[in-house]
Chain A
Amino acid sequence: MAISRFSYASMNVMDVEAAVRHYVHVVGLRETDRDADGRVYLQAADTQDHHCVILNPAKTAGVEHLGFKVSDPADLDEATAAVTAYGLPVTRVPAGAVKGQGEGVRFPLPSGQHMMLYYHADKVGYLTGMENPNPVSAHSTPGGRVTHLDHTLISAQNPGDDVKFLTEVLDFSLTEKVVDPAGNTLAAFLTCGHTMHDLAIGPGPDNHFHHMAFGMDSRTEVIHGVDLLKEKAVPALEYGITRHGIAGVTTIYFHDPSGNRNEFYNGAYLAPGAPGWVPPIVWQAEHFPRGAFYYENAVPEAFFAEVT
């Protein structure tokens, strides 16, 4: 099994056009496609694939499914067998059901959120082009200067159940975890690629979405992003600009027009290695406030309580 990257979040939104305005003019994505079901597809400047965010018209906010790419078409059969053997129901999804995308396999995590694994993505190319491009990112586009969709955090009543599944069945590596005095996992940070997290699990209700994070080239760009959020009066977390103790990244959180949480961030460390061969950093629960918000050393009540 070789999942090569976290590639997109398919989000439910209550007002698609308001969401498109947000993801283009605030986050800084480009609209790449629409489909007959009213979904809108968007991609960041420095990723070649068809989409990193899908906006689904819905009556609720929250995540519809999370897309991960595998590095070989045969991985889809291997995943189907392994996930089925673990006891979770797998659905084969035909090519084109998600526009711009080949066949996929879809299944729920133990905490209920759905994952889709797939191999093929149509290419839209980098924003700067694929022939003789400028070496600098496209600062002329509206919105934040995000380079790529980086990771997502979902909530679970028992994060340890998701960790067990993701590490034992899908070959994710655990890079950091928060444990209570009894040794139970309260939060976990997992990677399938090169940086310290692609998918994180936080404490909260099952089958809910906490945030997705868009990467930026520097802390300076995050500051620019904060200015943009304030100028456009986008609701943001009271902490920001700040730094996480876990991962050490510079960060600000804000909300899309359906209340789904977004993050601008910079600076995740590299954590390459074969699955299971990079020992995780461990945080005791009493140090979690410093791990969550390094400058403030406190977690705002609503930060983990409120999810979509």
Chain B
Amino acid sequence: MTVILDRPPVTLTGDGALKTPYRPRILGVGTATSAAVYSQQEVLDAFAITDPKIRSVFANSAIDRRHLTLPEPGTDGVRAPEPQGDLLDKHKAMAVEMGAEALRACLKRAGAELSDLRHLCCVSSTGFLTPGLSALMIRELGIDRHCSRSDIVGMGCNAGLNALNVVAGWSAAHPGELAVVLCTEACSAAYAMDSSMRTAVVNSLFGDGAGAIALMSGPGDEASGTTEGPTVLKFASCIIPEAIGAMRYDWDRELDRFSFYLDPQIPYVVGAHAEIVVDRLLGDTGLRRSDIGHWLVHSGGKKVIDAVVVNLGLTRHDLRHTVGVLRDYGNVSSGSFLFSYERLLDEQVTRPGDYGVLMTMGPGSTLETALVQW
């Protein structure tokens, strides 16, 4: 006996809905990391960090391991922090290397070739580059010189969904043409080190990683090369201007380098706005929160994940991939939610008609969301 209960109908006329004849589908995903993996203990040992308060931050991070590219040890076996110039070089090299691997893996899963690529949007916040990553990637991989491109820089952990929003629009306007969003973050190039809790929290959290997704819209077969990916239906954003300084990556004059700052209150501030943005995303669609079968939330950190779970009334099962990705990779910034998306696909539990919500959080402070349907 087969049982089919009616799927709730979805209305897509409100703000943020893609009101186009053809909505883009996600055709493939790929991820990559830097080569070396470190446990939290190994990172502490590598920099000879003995302060019990800092060690405690690392121990309570809900992170088992991260991929990092650390400086070579000195003659005493201890690694000294690199100067800012070296960090920028590291960002450039690592972002391109991981980005190329993630892009290739994504295209392979989508059943596409590099020569099919018509738009490449590169996302990164862990270093500054001109020309940007899209240009470097095109040179590195020998992508067609006429490939349309864009770079989203400096938007932080949420940027993957800002990029998806813009590229979904590009894709809807270019049926049958392949677009890729590539988030590539060399978080090893974005650390600062002193004895403060400010840097301890940041240094315990981030890891290197890149994630790519391919999109295509079309009247039918063009966009159905694979059957595993969902269609992108709608976006909703919520910025919290009163918390504009709560997450920032800016110049630290004392340390003479860029330094990331995370306000201790920010997990709760983000959590308190999670319902607002999800209600807006589902508003006018006819969908209830309980109609959402799959939640893919940015692996921002243990506290922010807890706050999102509580405020959205989710279960630990709902955010199993978010928690698992944090445990295995740390926070890989803008590409984190793509690691979760890849794990969800690998589980093979999504069914045609299922709804999913993607959610990322970052500086602004901001929450970005997308509604998708398999």
A and B bind: no
